[in-house]
Structure 1
């Protein structure tokens, strides 16, 4: 077994372990679940959450489109870019967690976007998503006490500090690349595009994390502390980030649920964490399906641009 296969296998094992943990929590909540009878309000909340997640994915499209334009793609129109993104999005649920990126590369090239531009846009998208998720996740993890508690920093300053550090590093790298043959990969235009994309991704995680807030408040008998409620979007971002960096976990399945359950134990005592995590997963999967159906226009083919 080579190194890459070993890392993927370890990531898959970690995903299975967290799924087992989620199963244990679900078993612990089983008696309560036997008495739980979802009414129309619950189903309406979940349906609204799925639709809200589908609409929030448009922010991901907007970020990717800005990156394409910043990297030199010629006038990337909204409609085809949105279709490319929506059609490839479901590929993230396949083992390997890269097929949505490969699909976007193939569809984008068919539309007429250069392979180098597509590859660079993927790199910047992944870094932007990672930094945006970490911006929200670190304050939450600091408050919960899972990480960086020894620094005793106000939660907001952690996010601000991380963003500032990322900007300084980007500026330094841009100066080094300016006089090389890779100057087009990181220049002023690309930096501005990345910042706009980062803003889109930050709002996406706030909205997606807001769905966690709604589901938690709907299913929790006792309202959590107001500060904890305000930091729940950061818990969603932490779960997304952990799943994102774990190989062998398609769309972070299992990893995200484990983080949510563990965080809810601290942030919303008494909340049915396993149920909330599973229902939120169902809402996001359904949301990805709606995003594909509403904006991917799967009944037509993307025409090549001439």
Structure 2
């Protein structure tokens, strides 16, 4: 009952955010504005940002491969990249469950049983959220607005405190994960899962990979901002923080396909102070286009690899 209420509430919030953002975009941006910024360099920047965004699939597949190998379920990086790439587009379906269902189905057909899949994807989700919070918090702190609000003493202790919290989280993960699994996946016996969870070193490597994903995406946003608004003063750390923290908000709004609307509203709120008028909106709309292109590119490449692997298996 509570899950249904949560999903319904998430759907309502997602729809409200989507409608609000689209209404604001239509009201703020005119056809003349779009035509003015629709230049060759702008399209090239969006394409480059899309390619940077697309790197999250091979990087995340490497992290997944490491975790699977650590619990005795080795699979090739190529195969896991293909699974993640093919199922990537399903996140645009309402409810945000199609991607996980498709990924589970493809994984099981390729010899990844439900327990290793559940363990590693559960770890992946928690680590991706932790990485987003870390990068988002650090980006907000080290942005021009953030640094202006703190003394040098506060700046000096920030990194050690953040590193200490990270170490504590990684140390507590293995003893606490069975309880979390019991809460979110009660159908599976979590009492014997502690010994099957990835080790702390593997989790740390995966966390670094997910952090790299957010930084790479931030570089893409920064590139878009520089090309669209060459005369503006850009704050890379603020742009990085806006997406990372908006991703967390979109994750906790299950009704919004790929966080559509929710993430844009959060990013708009964070960027509006530094980018007046329609400038922030231009960056956000261009970046959303880049993510759609990046997901499409990953899907096409992965699907082509899937077709090739099937033909190879059939011919042999």
Give the TM-score of the pair, scaled to structure 1.
0.84
In structure 1, C-alpha distance between the alignment counterparts of 2:176 and 2:266, rounded to whole Å: 38
Alignment of 1:94-173 (within 5 A): 94-142=93-141, 154=154, 161-173=161-173
In structure 1, C-alpha distance between the alignment counterparts of 2:68 and 2:289, rounded to whole Å: 31
Displacement of 1:161 in angstroms is: 3.4
Contact 1:64 1:121 in 2 (8 A): yes
In structure 2, C-alpha distance between the alignment counterparts of 1:28 and 1:106, rounded to whole Å: 43
> Which runs of 5 or more residues in structure 1 are unaligned?
none
| Pairing partner for 2:262 from 255, 262, 265 | 255
Query: How many aligned positions are there?
Result: 296
Q: Which residue of 2 aligns with 1:299?
A: 307
Distance 1:176 1:241, change over 3 A: closer
2:62 matched to 1:55?
Answer: no
Shifted more, 160-169 versus 84-93: the winner is 160-169
Deviations 1:219-275 (A, max 9, x none): 2253225xx323311211111111011121111111111111111112333562222
Q: Which residue of 2 aligns with 1:43?
A: 43
Q: Which residue of 1 aligns with 2:252?
A: 245
Distance 1:37 1:210, change over 3 A: closer
Q: Secondary structure at the match of 1:184?
A: helix
Q: Secondary structure at the match of 1:246?
A: coil
2:189 matched to 1:190?
Answer: no
Displacement of 1:134 in angstroms is: 0.3
Displacement of 1:6 in angstroms is: 2.0
Q: Which residue of 2 aligns with 1:286?
A: 293
Distance 1:52 1:169, change over 3 A: closer
Displacement of 1:288 in angstroms is: 0.7
Contact 1:205 1:233 in 2 (8 A): yes
In structure 2, C-alpha distance between the alignment counterparts of 1:169 and 1:263, rounded to whole Å: 27
Contact 1:66 1:197 in 2 (8 A): yes
In structure 2, C-alpha distance between the alignment counterparts of 1:31 and 1:184, rounded to whole Å: 59
In structure 2, C-alpha distance between the alignment counterparts of 1:177 and 1:35, rounded to whole Å: 51
2:68 matched to 1:65?
Answer: no
Displacement of 1:72 in angstroms is: 1.8
Distance 1:132 1:157, change over 3 A: farther
Distance 1:218 1:159, change over 3 A: farther
Q: CA RMSD for the aligned pairs?
A: 3.1
